[in-house]
């Protein structure tokens, strides 16, 4: 692979890192408009992160080295996961050398260290959040893998870059299995990113916290890295849903015009998915924790129906 391909790949990863707070701010701004509130400006998360990076880190005396290293590990692993996702172009070296199973493994690795850090200090909130996170992940990861495998059976590959390339180069077709896989992946994305109705990132109520409970003891730059990683993870799922099911506009050739069009369409698609997420959160309420497995089991069943539908259509 030539040097320009690696430069574009690194640029794509850097772009996703920089855009992650903007997507979060856009969702908050649109959500406030739906609720007839003024709300913060879309680039407010950048100010919040800058303020956290300037603050001093306050840490408990019994904190272990694992607790100190977790923010850096979680952020680094999430950045690696973002490098696998084809955002505005296909054929980049970082997306070609790894597949979706590696990406799910990165998410699992970040979650593993985050749960350990949540239990490290022995606080009630940290242990409660870690146990809830593990419970939810045990339901989301199988549904996510099954929905991706449903797509992989059509594309004959688990590589995300090959999936997007196949849809772009083949004649337009509507696959029933894709509809089921897309619905399942949407539910999984909501759960993985801790959004309503699974979790509410805007509250700190002890009875409802999941992700926030694990990072409650962090401050300063450590908290900034964890918040940034959470925003980046939400952006990754947004790019996944957009480019796996609506990949049109993604650059097939690494040319300036095609890349510019890819960047423009990526921004439009992310604004659209942020608008839909904000609209849904404005009309939905957070469900009880004990009902969460029902929703995630539904995501698994929908993905299973998609796979069975693909098998039945292929046989006939």
What are the DSSP calls for 226-281, one per residue? HHHHHHHHHHHHHHHHHHHH--TT-BSS--HHHHHHHHHHHHHHHHHHHHHHHHHH
Give yes or no for residue 111 having a pLDDT over 80: yes
Indicate whether 3 pLDDT > 90: no
Contact of 148 with 158, CB cutoff 8 Å? yes
The gap from C-alpha 271 to its chain's centroid, in whole angstroms, comes to 15
Q: Which structure tokens are listed for 196?
A: 């309503």
pLDDT of residue 28 exceeding 80: yes
Q: Whole-angstrom Cα distance, residue 9 to residue 22?
A: 20
Contact 81, 107 (CB under 8 A): yes
Task: Say if CB 284 and CB 31 are below 8 A apart.
Answer: no
pLDDT of residue 288: 83
Average pLDDT score over residue span 29-49: 92
**Angle made by CA atoms 193, 109, 52, in degrees to the nearest 5:** 60
Of the candidate ranges 85-94, 124-133, 203-212, 282-291, the one whose mean pLDDT is the lowest: 203-212
Q: Is the pLDDT of residue 108 over 70?
A: yes
Token pair 């089921």 is found at: 180
Report pTM: 0.93
> Nearest 10 degrees: CA dihedral of 106, 110, 113, 118?
-160
Report how far residue 122's alpha carbon sits from residue 41's, in angstroms, rounded to the nearest whole number. 37
According to the model, what pLDDT value does residue 125 have? 84
> 3-class SS at 160?
helix
With beta carbons less than 8 A apart as the criterion, state whether 111 and 144 touch.
no
Q: Which residue has the tokens 């919040």?
A: 48
pLDDT, position 247: 87
Residue 72: per-residue pLDDT: 96
Alpha helix (H) residue ranges in the chain: 3-34, 44-54, 65-84, 93-96, 100-120, 124-155, 160-169, 176-192, 211-214, 220-245, 256-283, 292-315
* pLDDT score recorded for residue 170: 79
pLDDT > 90? residue 196? no
pLDDT score recorded for residue 204: 67
Note whether 278 and 31 are within 8 A (CB): yes
pLDDT, greater one: 62 or 209: 62
Tell me how far apart the alpha carbons of residues 49 and 212 are, in angstroms, rounded to a whole number.
16
| Mean pLDDT in residue range 172-194 | 87
For residue 173, pLDDT beyond 80: no
User: Tell me, what's the pLDDT at 205?
Assistant: 66
In this model, does residue 315 exceed pLDDT 60?
no
Question: What's the whole-number average pLDDT of the chain?
Answer: 88
pLDDT score recorded for residue 232:
96
- The pLDDT > 70 percentage for the chain reads 97
Dihedral of CA 85/18/69/121: which sign?
A: negative
**Which of 41-55, 101-115, 162-176, 254-268 is predicted least confidently?**
162-176
């Amino acid at each position: 692979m030539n040097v320009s391909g690696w430069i574009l790949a690194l640029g794509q990863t850097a772009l996703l890192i920089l855009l992650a707070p903007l997507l979060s701010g856009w969702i908050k701004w649109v959500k406030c408009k739906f609720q007839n509130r003024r709300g913060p400006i879309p680039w407010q998360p950048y100010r919040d992160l800058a303020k956290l990076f300037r603050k001093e880190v306050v840490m408990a005396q019994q904190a272990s080295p694992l607790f100190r290293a977790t923010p850096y590990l979680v952020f680094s692993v999430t950045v690696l996961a973002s490098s696998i996702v084809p955002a505005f172009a296909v054929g980049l070296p970082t997306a070609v050398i790894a597949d979706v199973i590696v990406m799910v493994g990165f998410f699992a690795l970040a979650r593993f260290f985050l749960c350990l850090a949540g239990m490290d200090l022995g606080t009630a909130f940290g242990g409660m959040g870690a146990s809830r996170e593990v419970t939810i992940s045990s339901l989301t990861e199988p549904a996510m893998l099954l929905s991706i495998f449903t797509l992989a059976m059509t594309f004959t590959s688990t590589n995300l870059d090959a999936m997007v390339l196949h849809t772009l180069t083949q004649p337009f077709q509507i696959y029933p299995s894709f509809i089921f896989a897309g619905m399942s992946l949407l539910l999984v994305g909501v759960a993985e990113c801790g959004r309503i109705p699974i979790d509410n990132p805007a509250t700190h109520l002890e009875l409802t916290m999941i992700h926030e409970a694990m990072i409650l003891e962090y401050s300063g730059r450590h908290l900034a890295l964890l918040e940034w990683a959470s925003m980046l993870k939400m952006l990754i799922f947004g790019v996944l849903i957009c480019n796996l099911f609506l990949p049109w506009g993604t650059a097939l050739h690494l040319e300036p015009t095609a890349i510019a069009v890819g960047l423009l369409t990526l921004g439009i698609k992310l604004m659209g998915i942020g608008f839909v997420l904000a609209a849904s959160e404005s009309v939905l309420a957070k469900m009880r924790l004990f009902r969460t497995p029902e929703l995630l089991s539904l995501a698994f069943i929908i993905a299973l129906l998609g796979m069975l539908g693909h098998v039945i259509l292929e046989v006939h």
